[in-house]
Structure 1
């Protein structure tokens, strides 16, 4: 009798969740992974699907997102024509990337920028603090992780000084990524000084009933006086102290400092998330009068879970298929979608040199096993895979033919494609591409290449475990 009842419950849960999955038209890999989990462990699988199976931002957020979209498009159409550049002057591959970016997001190609690549955390923080100390009107920051200690305390002190001299300081922090910081004296000091601190996507047990709690704000944006901006991979955390118990070494990051109209656009992108979180009006201040500071052409490419289309995946696919000679990628987490895996393999087969640089150790055992499952597929077609052994390589970069650079917060995994708010800088600038490629070469020098014969020789149990975890990778 008990067995029959449990079988009935098992069947009921499996059918109920299956019907829900089929009604949502999930990606094939995600749907199959959820079905497998529900069939194998129905109670756990059903509960997991309830909590993280769908991209639920909540009714209020989605209503705001629907109302906000036409406002953002109208704002984008009013970007001063003097800063907008036609993509027609780019070569064919770059033009296709630019047109897809504009068609997907609505943000045009912009000219007149000076780009500076900052390749280590200390130099990044020194430059950012100097710009905050020089701020006259506004400082706007949005980062996934804030972690007190080390040079972060110096940054907080600079923000306090700016607030006290009348500079408008707005700070967005992800609720989960910055959880410990919200209980810190540093945060209290910011608020006492008058800085406006916004907690993005708050985490609490009650919200878990209505929203998916692992939808996170993974962006890294700093904008000073709407003239200077930063974006890239670094959180507001000193790598000498951050996650030192994870056994992966110090995190290795890079950022780009941007002078030009893209700084104002980055602030507007961040203000759109402020509007989603707080319900405030989306009303970016007008752009400042900016002298032409350089010759770089760039596009800002935000992405997030509020839309049904994986725009960032489409951008990366277009870039890979546009490559003629070389693609070099760095990412801490590599769990690609099937289309991206196919694109990289196809590039290598048609003669494009493809180099993937990833850390030898990452701070997630499941991600490590899932990522390893793809290595043989890549090595077998001649793709070079390098394991960076000098810390957790956290820089997210793609350089195409030493001409085009995609640089920002996006990891090469489904979490970045589907679940996180992310932002990327697309730079159509050979000088910046060469600089970024040089940084990638420095990473290569600190890495060891994987060999196909050695990889084949790994224990059978590891191969089985990696393939099993990879089957569930759409859920990671």
Structure 2
């Protein structure tokens, strides 16, 4: 083929993809990163954009999502008034966050809860197994990763036993995150016992041509008898065995055990994804009659790639701008967009004490470099950055002024904001916030502070590499 013809085709392809990028109204950073990649490495860039450049859930999923949204909002409007927190009960800052959450996803703040912070994977899993063993009606689980070994085998045995005694059991598993589990004897044991297993967002080469394969179900939800629920950062994986060859140590997680009406709301959130995946009707059972389990006020906040707006990022921004004294965040992956970075810097500049706790090592080298590129901007305005030394800190938490906590599955990166199905618990509760803050202090005691002078003295080649990866961070 003539060289000039190849050059012409090259220009046409680049122009076509560029026009496509501009037509999608992506964020400035994302569009710039894609254009840079396509110009520098045309063949690789174009292929990557076709595979993962747009949030393609597929026509069937999007049609279901469009049909489902009014059903969910109609269901949320019928939540009994007795469970809804009345106006004036929350502080001014919490009220603004609650109103934004309500306006974004339609779920109101609810009262009558007992919250129990589970500070590690072992205690979380043992409590969950005990609740499954005591289940009388239903067990509903939704987790990103399932891996056999250790206490997971005990969980599988508890599910099998529950199903055999007549408890309705259902488990949603992400197709990519739980891929090895689908080939295990444990998976076959669940199916044989009558546990309904739903593979969410199946992955195969043919589907990748039409549906973006890295849109994942990152939620962690467990609901027992519609009265008890769990959410947080823990996957169904024993940290003593999970990813031990990654060189980051054991994963460190936390969960919250919830008693109260938020349990059946979390089940409904999970059932909405079941409806998206299977095409089944979204028809959660009526709320069960139950006395108040405690006096904690909470709000459930789901998010996902079917929405055109980054709802969870808006929620985090509202919480940051509502802070008056202190914001403490823990996250394994910190690759923020410009709006979140600006909000954190603005908080520090107006005198709010901001502490960011991240692991010293993460299981992605690119994410590690991209995250480090923000250190100078944060340290320069007085934000405290702590590198956790005790493994891969996987807990996702934000405590604001010791009175409000956002706790759940969301990382502080664009993947969680745009590409993953996530869920967060907003706790308007001083006691739970104090417990979470104490857990964060335990993380602080096992962390090393990053000093601005020492950070700026790092080798120039490393600074160049970090900045180069940071430019591409919208694609991570």
Pairwise TM-score range, normalised by the shorter structure: over 0.9
TM-score by length of structure 1 reads 0.99
Deviations 1:310-342 (A, max 9, x none): 000000000000000000000000000100000
- What is the 5 A alignment of 1:110-129? 110-129=110-129
Quote the residue 1:43 is aligned against. Answer: 43
Measure, in 2, the Cα distance between the counterparts of 1:99 and 1:234. Answer: 28
Tell me the SS of whatever aligns to 1:159.
Answer: helix
Q: TM-score, normalised by structure 2?
A: 0.99
Cα distance in 1 for partners of 2:378, 2:315 equals: 21
Q: Which residue of 1 aligns with 2:238?
A: 238
- 1:66-465 to structure 2, matched below 5 A, reads 66-465=66-465
Q: Distance in 1 between matches of 2:379 and 2:87?
A: 35
1:287, CA displacement in angstroms? Answer: 1.2
Distance 2:5 2:405 in 1: 58
CA–CA separation in structure 1 for the residues paired with 2:244 and 2:132? 28
Q: How far does residue 14 in structure 1 lie from its aligned partner after superposition? A: 1.1
| Structure 2: runs of 5 or more not aligned | none
- Number of residue equivalences: 476
SS of the equivalent of 1:361 reads: coil
List per-residue Cα deviations over 1:207-263 (Å, max 9, x = no partner).
011100000000000000000000000000000000000000000000000000000
Aligned-pair CA distance for 1:9 = 2.5
The aligned residue for residue 62 of structure 1 is 62
CA distance in 1, matches of 2:158, 2:416: 31
Q: C-alpha root-mean-square deviation of aligned residues, in Å?
A: 0.7
SS at match of 2:205: coil
Match of 1:15 in 2: 15
Note if contact 1:386-1:450 (Cα within 8 Å) is conserved in structure 2: yes
Separation in structure 2 between the aligned mates of residue 87 and residue 109 of structure 1, nearest angstrom: 10
SS in 1 for 2:108: coil
Write the distance in 1 (CA, Å) between the matches of 2:108 and 2:122.
Answer: 33
Q: Does the CA-based 8 Å contact 1:327-1:400 persist in structure 2?
A: yes
Contact 1:146 1:177 in 2 (8 A): yes
Distance 1:8 1:76 in 2: 55
Q: CA deviation at 1:89?
A: 1.9
Q: Deviations over 1:402-428 (max 9, x none)?
A: 000000000000000000000000000
Q: Using the alignment, how far apart are the partners of 1:87 and 1:174 within structure 2?
A: 38
Residues 243-294 of structure 1, C-alpha deviations (whole Å, 9 max, x = no match):
0000000000000000000000000000000000000000001111111110
User: Is the CA contact 1:13–1:43 (under 8 Å) kept in the aligned structure 2?
Assistant: no
Rounded to whole Å, the distance in 2 between the matches of 1:430 and 1:333 is 27
User: Please, which runs of 5 or more residues in structure 1 have no aligned partner?
Assistant: none
Q: Distance in 2 between matches of 1:420 and 1:172?
A: 15
- State the Cα distance separating 1:87 from its structure 2 match: 4.0
SS in 1 for 2:390: coil
What are the superposed Cα offsets for residues 169-223 of structure 1, whole Å, 9 maximum, x if unpaired? 0000000000000000000000000000000000000001110000000000000
TM-superposed CA distance for 1:88, in Å, is 2.6
Mapped partners of 1:349, 1:10: distance in 2: 48
Offset at residue 298 of structure 1 (A):
0.2
User: In the aligned structure 2, how far is the partner of 1:196 from the partner of 1:357?
Assistant: 38
Secondary structure at the residue paired with 1:82?
A: helix
Look up the SS of the partner of 1:89 in the other structure.
coil
Q: Aligned equivalents of 1:217 and 1:349: distance in 2?
A: 36
CA distance in 1, matches of 2:6, 2:449: 51
Q: CA deviation at 1:92?
A: 1.0
2 CA distance for matches of 1:71 and 1:470? 40
- The CA deviation at 1:5 is 3.0
Instruction: Return 239-248 or 11-20, whichever deviates more.
Output: 11-20
Which residue of structure 2 lines up, in the alignment, with residue 27 of structure 1?
27
Aligned counterparts of 1:364 and 1:76: Cα–Cα separation in 2 = 38
Q: Tell me the SS of whatever aligns to 1:399.
A: strand
Per-residue Cα deviation, 1:341-373 (whole angstroms, up to 9, x for no partner):
000000000000000000000000000000010
Deviation of 1:42 after TM superposition, in Å, equals 1.2
Using the alignment, how far apart are the partners of 1:202 and 1:309 within structure 2? 24
Whether contact under 8 Å (1:114, 1:294) holds in the other structure is: yes
Helix, strand or coil for the counterpart of 1:20?
helix
Shift of 1:2: 4.5
